[in-house]
């Protein structure tokens, strides 16, 4: 009964990785590639749990990691993505090249949370702290699902007074939509505009084609471009005094 352990814990090292262990892991993955983490430690001659190897590689040893401080652009992007996706660190990380979910999670908890609180913004709801307290029934993170973008699209704002003023659309849409300023707060407009113009749906605009069921889903080159578009201003959080 019960789950089988992922490794023989009594024969594995724990704690900080040594330089030699790092070198062994890197050398093995260079030679054989990623995969089958369970058998990797033994094959690589490491007294480590497979999960530990995976984490070490993904969070620290991967050659495409971008080490160093987060830029202001990355800061803003993380905040925006978090307001949309909640604590879906892996989804957020997928849109920040060279950053890992663990790194972003740590950065959020140590820096951004404090930064937002300092501005009087609740880091969970992304609303002014007082307003968040006044609307305790609002749930920024709906029940777990595998299709986050569907949730975002399908859940209308439960609080009419909610003033996130979240508007997502291709940059050109803002000028074309006459009643842009008159729209209620927290409207996700892209799906509507997509239907009218045949453009990207909200999910695709976030680079979520894989999960998206719209006609634009599965487009090979879309994700990267959409990601850039997102960064270029497809998200408009006008109520957030970020700078």
Q: Considering the complex, what minimum distance in angstroms separates the CB of residue 113 from DNA?
A: 9
Residue (41 or 216) nearer to DNA, CB: 41
User: What token pair was written down for 45?
Assistant: 């001659």
Q: Where are the beta strands (DSSP E) in the chain?
A: 166-168, 235-237
CA dist., res. 131 & res. 163, Å (int): 10
User: What token pair was written down for 171?
Assistant: 């940059």
Residue (52 or 169) nearer to DNA, CB: 52
Q: Considering the complex, what minimum distance in angstroms separates the CB of residue 112 from DNA?
A: 10
CA dist., res. 191 & res. 203, Å (int): 9
Residue (55 or 187) nearer to DNA, CB: 55
CA dist., res. 235 & res. 197, Å (int): 18
What is the contact surface with DNA in residues (CB under 7 A)?
3-4, 6, 9, 13-17, 35-39, 48-52, 54-56, 59-60, 87-91, 101-103, 105-107, 109-111, 114, 144, 146
Residue (48 or 95) nearer to DNA, CB: 48
How many other C-beta atoms can be found within 10 angstroms of the C-beta atom of residue 204?
25
Q: Considering the complex, what minimum distance in angstroms separates the CB of residue 59 from DNA?
A: 6
In 3-state terms, what secondary structure has residue 128? strand
Q: Considering the complex, what minimum distance in angstroms separates the CB of residue 93 from DNA?
A: 7
Residue (13 or 163) nearer to DNA, CB: 13
CA dist., res. 73 & res. 231, Å (int): 8
Q: Considering the complex, what minimum distance in angstroms separates the CB of residue 30 from DNA?
A: 17
């Amino acid at each position: 009964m019960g789950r089988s352990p992922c490794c023989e814990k009594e024969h594995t090292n724990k704690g900080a990785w040594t330089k030699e262990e790092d070198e062994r892991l890197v050398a093995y993955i260079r030679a054989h590639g990623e995969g089958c983490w369970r058998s990797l430690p033994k094959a690589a001659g490491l007294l480590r749990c497979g999960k530990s190897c995976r984490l070490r590689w993904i969070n620290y040893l991967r050659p495409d990691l971008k080490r160093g401080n987060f830029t202001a652009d990355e800061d803003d992007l993380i905040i925006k993505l978090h307001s949309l996706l909640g604590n879906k660190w892996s989804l957020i990380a997928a849109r920040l090249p060279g950053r890992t979910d663990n790194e972003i999670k740590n950065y959020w908890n140590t820096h951004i949370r404090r930064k937002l609180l300092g501005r009087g913004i609740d880091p969970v709801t992304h609303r002014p702290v007082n307003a968040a307290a006044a609307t305790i029934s609002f749930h920024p993170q709906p029940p777990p699902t595998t299709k986050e973008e569907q949730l975002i699209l399908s859940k209308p704002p439960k609080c009419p007074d909610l003033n996130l003023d979240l508007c997502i659309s291709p940059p050109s849409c803002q000028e074309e939509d006459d009643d842009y300023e008159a729209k209620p707060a927290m409207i996700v407009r892209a799906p509507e505009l997509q239907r009218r113009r045949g453009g990207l749906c909200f999910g695709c605009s976030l680079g979520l084609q894989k999960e998206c069921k719209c006609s634009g889903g599965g487009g090979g080159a879309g994700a990267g471009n959409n990601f850039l578009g997102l960064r270029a201003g497809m998200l408009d959080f006008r109520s957030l005094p970020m700078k």
